[in-house]
Amino acid sequence: MSGAIGPGSEGMNLEHIKTCVRCGLRYDWRRSSSDSLKMTYCSHLCEAGDLGFTLEALLHAQPPTSTEAEAAPSEPETAAI
């Protein structure tokens, strides 16, 4: 395989270099520790610091569910016949 896919075949692929929108650091987004916005923030710390939360935490967060529905009393077993 000698055919390089994509424009520009320099030593450093600038396509992978992003500038963190929070701290302005230039980084390789593939190495960003930000899980969901690695192309926006250099790390999850900047992601969390800028958004106030991480998308991962948001995705994993469950909305408060009403326990009343699940705690509904079941029909008592009645020997009808």
Write out the residues near Zn ion by the rule CB under 5 A.
Answer: 20, 22-23, 25, 42, 46
How many angstroms from the chain centroid is the CA of residue 16? 19
- Output 21 or 57, the one with its CB closest to Zn ion: 21
- Output 40 or 65, the one with its CB closest to Zn ion: 40
Place of tokens 């009808």: 80
Q: Least Å distance between CB 43 and Zn ion?
A: 6
Cross-strand pairs, 18: 27
Q: Least Å distance between CB 22 and Zn ion?
A: 5
CA 48 to CA 63: how far, in whole Å? 20
